[in-house]
Amino acid sequence: MTTQSTTVPRHVLPVLVLAQFLGTSLWFAVNAVMPDLQRELGWATSAVGTLTSSLQFGFILGTLVFALLAIADRFAPRRVFLVCALAGAACTVGAWWTVRDYTALLAWRFATGFFLAGIYPVGMKIAAQWYTRGLGAALGLLIAALVLGSASAHALRAMGGALPWPTLMLGVAALAASGGLLLFFCTADPPGAQPRVTVLQWRALATLWTDVRVRSSVLGYFGHMWELYTMWVMVPLVLATRMQGAALSWMAFFVLGAGAIGCAGGGWVAQRWGSARVAGVQLGLSGLCCLAAPWAIGAPDALFFGWLLLWGVTVAGDSPQFSTLTARNAPPQAVGSVLTLTNSIGFAISIASILLFVSLAGHVPLGALLPWLAIGPALGLWALRPLWREETRRSSP
């Protein structure tokens, strides 16, 4: 890993952020066009949930395979990112080609999720190679790009009448491919990067539970993942109590996209406060937003939308700081594998949470259901205590 005694070229971070945004746009290509496909092909409303879960399962398997085989640490991360961006783009073209075959579409989305394992975590690995100092700020911008990509599905849905679904799908495939090419040809390996490993790093992966610092950040991240994606899935249901149509989609875009403010702003503040404290404050605030749901759902419009926007900012804003803490404390030769395995477990937790809360949403009022999301932030804050105390001691005069 570079020592950062050498100045990082100014173009590296913008290229990384843009490439991450373009590459992860694959995540939402089908979600954005599902209303059109449902109308044209007569699919049930539940189809979007099944397709989303298919991609998530592909991502979990991909991250598990990439971690156990140490792909991001055995091979040049830029090359891994390029190959996976091109492969994911090809899968999206395949999904477009066979879109009327629901089974084939499920398979293509699963494969897309698998290759996303070489984009999102690998992008963080590349950032960790370049930025040994200021990593929290760099990852804040990087994950802000992912958050905006997540929110963009709602913006695309709001504009869906102006763009036919084949154009959207093929356009996303082209964007993802260009992201891989951009990163590969416009950046280089950082000077002084660690030699790539040639054996599997089982002991390094075991630091998720044997190293107190890694365990603290990883368990905090798992608590965050219990809440994050389920909140994103539930936002349209909450908004549907007050609006519908394009207005609902635009508001969902703003609520989810607000997380980019939490990511980028949290990264800036972390350079002064420390990543553990920034992650803890945002995790605590998002947990309070969960608990406030019974009152906020029936509140006047100003309080209702203010609550959702605050929740959108804080529910995602802690993510880059958890990744920063894990990258800093993981064994240097296995940062990519540790981050990837952490993502794999975290997304498995998110699927369990989504399936549970979506199934209960049909039987339990939202005001009574959403507070249970606070279980994740509460457990995450408990796990984060060792790193919080460590940062507090270091900052004391």
pTM: 0.81
- Three-state SS string over the chain comes to CCCCCCCCCCCHHHHHHHHHHHHHHHHHHHHHHHHHHHHHHCCCCCHHHHHHHHHHHHHHHHHHHHHHCCHHHHCCHHHHHHHHHHHHHHHHHHHHHCCCCHHHHHHHHHHHHHHHCCCHHHHHHHHHHHCCCCHHHHHHHHHHHHHHHHHHHHHHHHCCCCCCHHHHHHHHHHHHHHHHHHHHHHCCCCCCCCCCCCCCCHHHHCHHHHCHHHHHHHHHHHHHHHHHHHHHHHHHHHHCCCCCHHHHHHHHHHHHHCHHHHHHHHHHHHHHHCHHHHHHHHHHHHHHHHHCHHHHCCCCHHHHHHHHHHHHHHHHHCHHHHHHHHHHHCCHHHHHHHHHHHHHHHHHHHHHHHHHHHHHHCCCCHHHHHHHHHHHHHHHHHHHHHHHHHHHHHHCC
Mean per-residue pLDDT, 333-348: 82
In order of their start, the domains of the chain are 12-190+201-395 (1.20.1250.20)
Look at residue 4 in the predicted model and tell me its pLDDT: 47
Most confident of the ranges 48-52, 59-63, 183-187, 309-313: 309-313
User: pLDDT, tens digit, for every residue of 67-102?
Assistant: 888 787 788 899 999 999 999 999 999 998 988 888
What average pLDDT is seen over the chain?
85
How confident is the model at residue 161, as a pLDDT? 58
